[in-house]
Amino acid sequence: MRDDVSAIHAVHEADRKAHLRQDARDLASRIAPRLISVGRGKVTIQTPDDVCARFESYFRGITHTVWEDVEPPIIRISLARDFAYAVYKVHSHYVPASQGDGREETDFVSAWTSTYELIGGEWKMTSVTSTFEAPKPVTHPPDSFAPTPRT
């Protein structure tokens, strides 16, 4: 089973590198023929081609400069060694494709659970359920021109 855990780690590492290279086709190559995706209150079924098109569009708008684990992934393999799940928490720093549109560099933290099936000797993602950490509020120094409250 240790080899299977290492194989899922390798899938995750390949996904990280694909994000940094903006390689949608590479990301889609590790998707099962049918991916169930859960997020933002919706359940969708996608093919690898759907995933590729979605990431091509996504990568046109941003460039990841950091995509790293916040915590070590939790990976479990079934006793039959044909099914696995993994829980991830990743920090990303990214830059908008066009800095001139008023958008700034930003960060996010995302956590998700992925399931995998061994298909043709390769681990393929069969489902993903994801969430994002709420952004930290921006605090501003007190305005020195603000009126002083009367007591």
Helix H, strand E, coil C: the string for 28-75 is HCCEEEEEEEEECCEEEEECHHHHHHHHHHHHHHEEEEEEEECCCCEE
> Is 137 a domain residue?
no
Q: What is the DSSP letter of 139?
A: -
CATH number of residue 47's parent domain: 3.10.450.50
In a domain, 151, yes or no: no
> Structurally, how many domains does the chain consist of?
1
Please, which residues have CB within 8 angstroms of residue 86's CB and are 6 or more apart in sequence? 8, 12, 73, 74, 75, 76, 113, 114, 116
pLDDT in tens, the chain (151 residues): 679 999 999 999 999 999 999 999 999 999 999 999 999 999 999 999 999 999 999 999 988 999 999 999 999 999 999 999 999 999 999 888 775 555 678 888 999 999 999 999 999 999 999 998 877 665 555 555 444 555 5
Residue numbers of the domain that contains 17 = 2-132
Residue with tokens 């939790």: 74
